[in-house]
Structure 1
Amino acid sequence: MELTLDDLGVTLSRRRVLDGISVILRPGRVTAILGPNGAGKSTLLRTAAALIAPATGTVRLGDRNVATLDPRERARRIGYLPQNAGVHWNIATSEVVALGRLPHRAPFAAPGQHDLDAVTRAMAATETAHLADRPVNELSGGERARVLLARVLAGEPDWLLADEPLAGLDPRHQFDILDRLQEVARQGRGVAIVLHDLLHAGRVADDVLLLKEGRVLTSGEAAAVMTPDNLRAAFGVEVSVQRNTGGGLVCTPIGRALATA
């Protein structure tokens, strides 16, 4: 199902953070949400997950308003991974991942075989199976980040919304996580991720939503959006954009854009 943001506006602390956001995010594709600091990227993702109520406009999953979905159904449909997510109980890592299955189970019901299999798959995909019995607060920051992604993957949502999912990860695991997100999209589900690294965005994104000052600068297929002109307009830097051998984009920042008269 498509995730549609229709004339979305968000006001926080009397400041308009998002204004007039209209875009359709498509399933089966990875959409990278890009923009400079303060552009509203995290706010957009939290609003799409119904964690912030918009001042104007709606977020729809298919033809249904996300805000009016039953919370348990919404949790089954949309998985959200915030940046700097924490765990408040020092429980075993496998138990943290299993929390992703709670929306699929009746209250107080024990996990079924499908729940256990989903947890196993999620931990294998994030290379955290060997951490299963470790208390989560004993993990490194990068290990914890992978465990929290596994928790979202275990829920098998129709849409996975991730805010800076690569933060704190070493380069190898950054590539591994991007591969896992692409795999989720290839399964027909939707993935929207906030990224700051243009190299990673060019590698993983099928579509790009480029924000500036709370508005859509441009959106569409990655090759059409991630052009030197568009990236200069958004970030104020010169960027070299090339195709790699796999068909993705290699976007290399060169330096600050020169001021023009």
Structure 2
Amino acid sequence: MATVPQSQSLPLFYNNLEPLSSQTHADFRVRPANVAPFLAKHHAVPLTVEEFPLVQRRMPIVFSIGDDPVPLALMGLNEGVNTFIDDAGALVDNEVYVPAYIRRYPYLLAKLRPDTDELSLCFDPTSDTIGAFEDGERLFENGEPTELTKGILNFAEQFEQAGQRTGQFMRELKELGILMDGEISIQPEGAQPFVYRGFQMVDEKKLNDLRGDQLRKLTQNGILPLVYAHLFSLSLMRDLFSKQMQQGKMPQQAPPLNAQPLN
């Protein structure tokens, strides 16, 4: 059975990838998922730029460290802490926005061969939402993809396109040199401060010092509002810290925020 070459590193959440086939998976069905246990211990989720306006009011938006940074929505400030999901993987608040990266799982567009740019719809066979079940919606009828499968493919294609636009956004920020190492110190009453590092953010001083032509370009290509969405969202760091305290999820120390790749 064909699988994605394992020399390729798998994205966050995925344990394996297998191309979806009308022959091999003719009897496969999809069960609705009300919980996401795979998410319960993850505090940072990749984000696309289209989601910034929705996320900025709910979660801090930061950028990962390294040579190829990606936007991240923070669901917790510490490794293994998610304040929006309980231990069973259920939403704590049904009004919470769920990033597209999460909603895409267990599906993914991936290259099956390194010598071509063609992408195939794949899925994680370890997911309990897809399989040869007696119940659920069918993926294929008479050898043809159902409307459900077409919808899954369309969503995966839209996410892939959004990922490309997000990559261009990040390249613009890097070329302008306005990213800086982030640090935030939060001091609970009567306690030592918690200092969080290991992420990047936009340097407001460098942003304000950009030339007029650079700022016009950022405005014209729609990047400047996204930058401000990121900056406004940083005020939610303290709200997230308070949620961790209320939920009893505070560690003894505050290790650096870890980054996850956007795939």
Give the structure with the larger strand fraction. Answer: 1
The structure having more radius of gyration, on CA atoms, is: 2
The two structures have a TM-score, normalised by structure 2, of 0.29
Give the structure with the larger helix fraction. Answer: 1
The two structures have a TM-score, normalised by structure 1, of 0.30
Higher relative contact order (CA 8 A, sep 6+): 2
